[in-house]
Chain A
Amino acid sequence: MTVPALGAGPVRRRSSVFVATAFAAAAATSLIGSMLAMWLDFRAKAPLRASADGAKMIKDWLKADVAVPEVASNTMMITFVAVCIMAQWAVYSARRADRSHTILALSITAAIGLALVNAQIALYLQMGLALRNDAYETLFYAVTGTMLALIASGVVYSFVALFRVWAGRSSDHDVLAAHALYWYALSGMFLAVWFVVYVQK
């Protein structure tokens, strides 16, 4: 008996949103990576000076009276873990057609994103660093300001994803997966910023 073969189904196209978000994340990583590379270059080339007790020679990079608030920066780093979990929870809920939990997860993601923006501003206020004296100040505000702008773009992405789900497009799993990917990428970038700028200084 001859069984006619079934015709091929329509080709499943890879998600444009996911791929474009991956490119955007790559671009953002390249941006932050290049800025951190220049930071490291400037720090390596900073002249030497005697330490406060005169016991050793240290890089004249971060002035002795500048204190980097480590609690705020560490809290931001830990918060990024939470934001990734929430973004992934949104993907998980959407795949199970659980609209209310998807909305809740995206709302929390956006709220945590706003909290990150708030924490960065609080960190600026705590430091009270001027922007007129040396290379450290210029590079500090440029790197962290750019990171702040990228976090803000993540918050906007969360609100857009939330709005889409709220408006009924809860079956767009690719958008939520792309949204989660962007937050993962932002977390990776902040990890690098946190280590270079706030830990190594």
Chain B
Amino acid sequence: MTVVDASSVSRPVADDSSAVGRVAAWFTVADHARLGRLYLATVGVWLLLVALLGALLGLERMDSTAALVDADAHVQMFGLYHYALVMGVAAPLFLGIAFLVVPSLLNASTASFVRLAAFGYWMWTAGSAVVVAAMIANGGPGGGDATGVELYLLGLGIAIVGVLCSAVSLAATVLTRRNGATLDGSSVFVFSVLVSTTGLVLTMPVALGTVIYLWVDFANARVAFGGTGLMSTWVAWLFDQPHTLLFVAPALGVLGHLGAVAARVRQPLRGGVLVGIGLSAVVVVSSVTQRSHPFAVGDSPVDTVGSLVPYALFHLLPLLAPLIVVALALLALKAGSPRLVAPFVPAFLGVGMILTGLVGTAVQMIDSTNLQGTVFGEGALVYVVYGGALGAFGAVAYWSTAIWRRVLPAGAVLGVSLLGFVAVVLAALPHYVAGFLDQPAAKASGYDDAGLRGLLNGLSALGHLAMALALLGGVVVVLRANSRGAVTSTNPYDTAEVTQ
């Protein structure tokens, strides 16, 4: 028997019968579906900003002597680009989708503590706005204006608390609103949301603690943490792999769910999928050490093993998470009677991109490749974040009947997905190649741009523009389906033989 506690359905505090009331209803949102839409819309804006910023930086790096924007602003542009990729897009992306989908997957009427989650959304939005203002005011890591730098730390701290509040709400939802169903019997996506949010509950406070230290030091003595110059190194782990895997881990859940749907069979070795997704939680330990762990061959075998063990823990073990999920999705296709399920395509490609980004980071961390400090790391980050965005599009396309009660046309979903895939490869792969050509990271001027480098940066800019186009295409597909599509709550991809 499914028990749904209708009395706990939250509604907006404001009366939305008038125009003012409608606006106020969004600000006082206490409905998980509306909150999810707010998250998705805001992430869409951030994704557009990231794509445009990435394109601008790519064009800027085509010629290291010519400057499209003032060279003094490059530090802020790179800082904002990294913030937008991780805290603007990756961190809240699956929070939004989870608020839209998880309660219905659990047969729950609403999420737990929706007001706390809404508070988290507004904290994240306000904190991010403060970060943008700080960057414009010559603040941020490496910034020249003391007030701007303090403002950046304040904004980052607020945004972290915001993500934390929403994560607590979702984790509590999964654990307490299953209405008698076991976690094993729930959707793989639900499990991935639990893994991701529980991990965030543990790692976000570590980032917050560092931000508190940085702020106290910067505002007073400035002797312990090295001022603005070293600020980014203290919180680098938050914006880098493997930690970013925690943000996009639900993409693995989307693929795990859709693999069985596309194959029309119960997922073979379902426990293996859960183990694979659970493995992404090992990146929680990356926050414990707060530093990178490169692998270097030492003078003695003991030194080599001493370097290999942490490297394997931080960079090889997390690789297994997407690898296992991809392998078991393929196994499901082999075992069942596969059919073309449009949302499966972006989910599969997205996880593939995430895997490529993690492999890239693992290669970068091998000392002898000399890739650290090059633009290679930026390529890996773009792979992971844009890959996560592709996976999220797969989730939106599959659960569109639960979100909007409309079906997104399969052809349009495939078109946008393929454009998105091309965009990710174009935006990130040139950075991998440029990394081997020793192009320095986070620099747009004053380096040798001879040979292929100019062309590679131009290609990357093109990839970011293609991502902006894919995003707009996705928005158009959703809007058209909402305005012209038939209302239905039946998911056309679900079949009787698949039990998630």
Residues of chain A at the chain B interface (Cβ within 8 Å): 8, 10-11, 13-16, 19-20, 23-24, 26-28, 30-32, 34-35, 37-38, 42, 131-135, 137-139, 141-142, 145-146
B180 at the interface (CB under 8 A from A): yes
Task: From the candidates B168, B172, B216, B223, name the one contacting A27 in the complex (CB within 8 A).
Answer: B168
Given A20-B113, A138-B221, A138-B223, are A34 and B206 neighbors across the interface (CB < 8 Å)?
Answer: yes
Per-residue interface assignment for chain B, residues 191 to 214, with 1 indicating a CB less than 8 Å from any chain A CB and 0 otherwise? 000000010011111101110110
Q: Is the CB of B202 within 8 A of A15?
A: no
CB distance from B284 to the nearest CB of A (A): 9
Taking CB atoms, residues of chain A closer than 8 Å to B168 are 20, 23-24, 27
Q: Is the CB of B205 within 8 A of A138?
A: no
Given A20-B113, A20-B168, A31-B209, are A10 and B3 neighbors across the interface (CB < 8 Å)?
Answer: yes
Q: Is the CB of B176 within 8 A of A34?
A: no
Q: Is the CB of A145 within 8 A of B179?
A: no
Q: Is the CB of B217 within 8 A of A138?
A: yes
Q: Is the CB of A35 within 8 A of B209?
A: yes
Taking CB atoms, residues of chain A closer than 8 Å to B243 are none
The distance in angstroms between the C-alpha atoms of A139 and B208, with both chains bound, is 14
B171 at the interface (CB under 8 A from A): yes
Q: Which residue of A lies closest to B113 (CB)?
A: A20
Taking CB atoms, residues of chain B closer than 8 Å to A11 are 1, 3, 179-180
CB distance from B105 to the nearest CB of A (A): 16
B112 at the interface (CB under 8 A from A): yes
Name the interface size band of chain B: 35 or more
Interface centre among B164, B205, B206 (most CB of A within 10 A): B205
The distance in angstroms between the C-alpha atoms of A100 and B179, with both chains bound, is 34
Q: Is the CB of B224 within 8 A of A34?
A: no
Per-residue interface assignment for chain B, residues 147 to 173, with 1 indicating a CB less than 8 Å from any chain A CB and 0 otherwise? 000000000000000001000110111
The distance in angstroms between the C-alpha atoms of A22 and B298, with both chains bound, is 44
Task: From the candidates B1, B179, B209, B287, name the one contacting A146 in the complex (CB within 8 A).
Answer: B209
Q: Is the CB of A15 within 8 A of B213?
A: no
CB distance from B231 to the nearest CB of A (A): 14
Given A11-B3, A20-B168, A142-B212, are A34 and B205 neighbors across the interface (CB < 8 Å)?
Answer: yes
Q: Is the CB of A31 within 8 A of B213?
A: no
The distance in angstroms between the C-alpha atoms of A28 and B115, with both chains bound, is 20
Taking CB atoms, residues of chain B closer than 8 Å to A19 are 112, 171-172, 175-176
Task: From the candidates A27, A135, A145, name the one contacting B224 in the complex (CB within 8 A).
Answer: A135
CB distance from B203 to the nearest CB of A (A): 8
The distance in angstroms between the C-alpha atoms of A14 and B171, with both chains bound, is 13
CB distance from B120 to the nearest CB of A (A): 12
Q: Is the CB of A23 within 8 A of B171?
A: yes
Q: Is the CB of B169 within 8 A of A26?
A: no
Taking CB atoms, residues of chain B closer than 8 Å to A14 are 175-176
Residues of chain B at the chain A interface (Cβ within 8 Å): 1, 3, 5, 112-113, 116, 164, 168-169, 171-173, 175-177, 179-180, 198, 201-206, 208-210, 212-213, 216-217, 220-221, 223-225, 287-288, 290
Q: Is the CB of B287 within 8 A of A139?
A: no
Given A11-B3, A31-B205, are A131 and B221 neighbors across the interface (CB < 8 Å)?
Answer: yes
Q: Is the CB of A13 within 8 A of B206?
A: no
Taking CB atoms, residues of chain A closer than 8 Å to B288 are 34, 37
The distance in angstroms between the C-alpha atoms of A27 and B203, with both chains bound, is 8
Q: Which residue of A lies closest to B204 (CB)?
A: A27
Q: Is the CB of A27 within 8 A of B113?
A: no
Q: Which residue of B lies closest to A140 (CB)?
A: B216
Q: Is the CB of B204 within 8 A of A16?
A: no
A to B CB contacts below 8 Å, 20 in the list: A11-B1, A16-B113, A19-B175, A20-B116, A20-B168, A23-B171, A23-B172, A23-B201, A31-B209, A32-B209, A34-B210, A38-B209, A38-B213, A42-B224, A131-B220, A133-B221, A133-B223, A135-B223, A142-B212, A142-B216
Interface centre among B172, B179, B204, B287 (most CB of A within 10 A): B172
CB distance from A38 to the nearest CB of B (A): 6
Beyond known contacts A13-B179, A34-B205, A131-B220: 11 more, CB 8 A cutoff: A11-B3, A20-B116, A28-B205, A31-B208, A131-B216, A132-B220, A133-B221, A138-B223, A139-B224, A145-B216, A146-B209
CB distance from B30 to the nearest CB of A (A): 15
Q: Is the CB of B217 within 8 A of A146?
A: no
Taking CB atoms, residues of chain A closer than 8 Å to B216 are 131, 138, 141-142, 145
Taking CB atoms, residues of chain B closer than 8 Å to A37 are 288
Q: Which residue of A lies closest to B220 (CB)?
A: A131
CB distance from A148 to the nearest CB of B (A): 12
Taking CB atoms, residues of chain B closer than 8 Å to A145 are 212, 216
Q: Which residue of B lies closest to A131 (CB)?
A: B220
Taking CB atoms, residues of chain B closer than 8 Å to A142 are 212-213, 216-217
The distance in angstroms between the C-alpha atoms of A8 and B212, with both chains bound, is 51
CB distance from B216 to the nearest CB of A (A): 4
Q: Which residue of B lies closest to A18 (CB)?
A: B176
Q: Is the CB of A27 within 8 A of B213?
A: no
Task: From the candidates A8, A15, A30, name the one contacting B1 in the complex (CB within 8 A).
Answer: A8
CB distance from B287 to the nearest CB of A (A): 7
Q: Is the CB of A34 within 8 A of B164?
A: no
Q: Is the CB of A16 within 8 A of B172?
A: yes
The distance in angstroms between the C-alpha atoms of A114 and B136, with both chains bound, is 41
Q: Which residue of B lies closest to A35 (CB)?
A: B209
